[in-house]
Amino acid sequence: MYVAVKGGEAAIANAHALLADRRRGDRSVPALRLDQIVEQLALGVDRVMSEGSLYDRELAALAIVQARGDMIEAIFLVRAYRTTLPRFGYTNAIDTGAMLVERRVSATYKDLPGGQLLGPTFDYTHRLLDPELAAGGDVAEPLQRPGEAEAMPRVSAILAREGLIEPDGEMPQDHVPGDITREPLEFPMARDIRLQALSRGDEGFLLALGYSTQRGYARNHPFVGEVRIGEVELELDVPELPFTVPLGCVRVTECQMVNQFKGSAKAPPQFTRGYGLVFGQSERKAMAMALCDRALRASEFGEDVVAAAQDEEFVISHSDNVQATGFVEHLKLPHYVDFQAELDLVRRMRAEHDARENAGKAEEKREAAE
């Protein structure tokens, strides 16, 4: 525990007051409402929910306001609040195949059953600042096409019919999924544990690792089999009831990467999978997660582990931005005793160095005089 210097409590109280003042800003400017943040900064809210491991838009918006827009601080606040909540049980695994799809794109097949839906995306914008947004003008309603929803089977299912992709695998009946929020991490990890850690890992860190796999640091040649965004229903099994209880819907982003695999002594040449799933709309995070998931399966396929993205302990141990922030930012807290010890050590070492140097110079002078 760090002990504050004399008068520290008053200084900290004043710092908190100043922080509140800076957070409010100019009093003539209307204060932000949570519904404004939820509706107009939705992608930021989604990131806080995903990496904070708590699906609640208003709480995520509150955290963003309290953190003055610092996303990692907001994630920290949400995680801290999450620890105070009771847990009633675990829902059943969601069925993303039954998702009410808002966006669905594939880089592998042009014509898919159910079609491709562009949805709300920046992909085709020109990345030019729009001055009209500053004026706060009206926005036209989007066009809607009438029609019944079509079935949208996964791209992986299409490849599986030809036997060209690894089996999806069945969860053993006696397998109990792990929970990284209740159990300490142990290496090596089961894939379900690893996916949990990746899902709430830092987007920027996973993006950089995913990028590295495409630049040759894992020999990973991926195709986006499918990215889909939409709402899925949550259901809970209650022992006293003979049916599952629907709890509501959450929006998620799912990505399935399709990767080349030349085969091994145990498996024929085929495509393999990388998987990503996150809260809200965050396809960049889901794609980066899928790239990292496939890279971390190198040992499973008998591939050489030669890159950082393939090192499970390195990736998982450094992907959590709350842990990383705590360890980096603790350096600015008082280390007076440690520093004084190192200061004394450096002074002694410097004195010994100077003594040796002066002795050497004196010896050189004597030799020159002789």
**Is the pLDDT score of 171 beyond 80?**
no
Instruction: Tell whether 367 is covered by a domain.
Output: no
| pTM (two decimals) | 0.91
Q: Could you tell me the CA-to-CA distances from 85 to 78, 136, 168, 178, 201 in Å, in that order?
A: 11, 38, 34, 19, 21
Judge if 163 and 215 occupy the same domain: yes
**Is the pLDDT score of 236 beyond 80?**
yes
Q: How many domains does the chain have?
A: 2
- pLDDT category at 136 given cuts 50, 70, 90 is confident
Reported as a single tens digit per residue, the pLDDT across 280-334 is: 999 999 999 999 999 999 998 888 999 999 999 999 999 999 999 999 999 998 8
Tell me the three state secondary structure of residue 330: helix
What local confidence, expressed as pLDDT, does residue 147 receive? 66
Judge if 243 and 213 occupy the same domain: yes
Positive or negative CA dihedral for 36, 42, 43, 48? positive
- pLDDT category at 5 given cuts 50, 70, 90 is low
Instruction: Tell whether 230 is covered by a domain.
Output: yes
Q: Which domain holds residue 251?
A: 96-121+149-169+177-326
Amino acid identity of residue 297, one-letter, is: R
Instruction: Tell whether 345 is covered by a domain.
Output: no
Tell me the three state secondary structure of residue 267: coil
Reported as a single tens digit per residue, the pLDDT across 180-197 is: 998 999 999 999 999 999
Reported as a single tens digit per residue, the pLDDT across 85-103 is: 998 889 999 999 999 999 9
**Is the pLDDT score of 3 beyond 60?**
no
Instruction: Tell whether 129 is covered by a domain.
Output: no
Instruction: Tell whether 334 is covered by a domain.
Output: no
Instruction: Tell whether 261 is covered by a domain.
Output: yes
Domain boundary among 82, 112, 129: 82
Judge if 20 and 113 occupy the same domain: no
Judge if 153 and 276 occupy the same domain: yes
For every residue of 94-108, which 3-state class applies, written as one string? CCHHHCEEEEEECCC
Judge if 64 and 187 occupy the same domain: no
Positive or negative CA dihedral for 313, 289, 207, 68? negative
Judge if 242 and 288 occupy the same domain: yes
Instruction: Tell whether 144 is covered by a domain.
Output: no
Reported as a single tens digit per residue, the pLDDT across 6-64 is: 567 888 899 999 999 999 999 999 999 999 999 999 999 999 999 999 999 999 999 99
Exposure class string for 300-318: b at 16+ Cβ within 10 A, else e: ebebeeebbbbbbeebbeb
Beta strand pairing call for 244-261 and 222-237: antiparallel
Tokens of 346: 């450096």
The helix or strand, by DSSP H or E, that contains position 58, with its residue range, turns out to be: helix 57-66
Question: What is the C-alpha to C-alpha distance for residues 53 and 23, in angstroms, rounded to an integer?
Answer: 25
CB 274 within 8 A of CB 183: no
**Is the pLDDT score of 219 beyond 60?**
yes
Judge if 61 and 206 occupy the same domain: no
Angle in degrees, CA 90, 273, 97, rounded to 5: 50
Question: What is the C-alpha to C-alpha distance for residues 257 and 290, in angstroms, rounded to an integer?
Answer: 6
Judge if 55 and 162 occupy the same domain: no
Judge if 35 and 101 occupy the same domain: no
Angle in degrees, CA 120, 124, 129, rounded to 5: 90
Domain boundary among 326, 347, 365: 326
Mean of pLDDT over the chain: 91
Interval 106-121 mean pLDDT: 91
Judge if 290 and 312 occupy the same domain: yes
Judge if 100 and 243 occupy the same domain: yes
Judge if 160 and 262 occupy the same domain: yes
Instruction: Tell whether 331 is covered by a domain.
Output: no
What local confidence, expressed as pLDDT, does residue 1 receive? 41
Tell me the three state secondary structure of residue 315: helix
Comparing 13 with 137, which gets the higher pLDDT? 13
Domain boundary among 51, 82, 113: 82
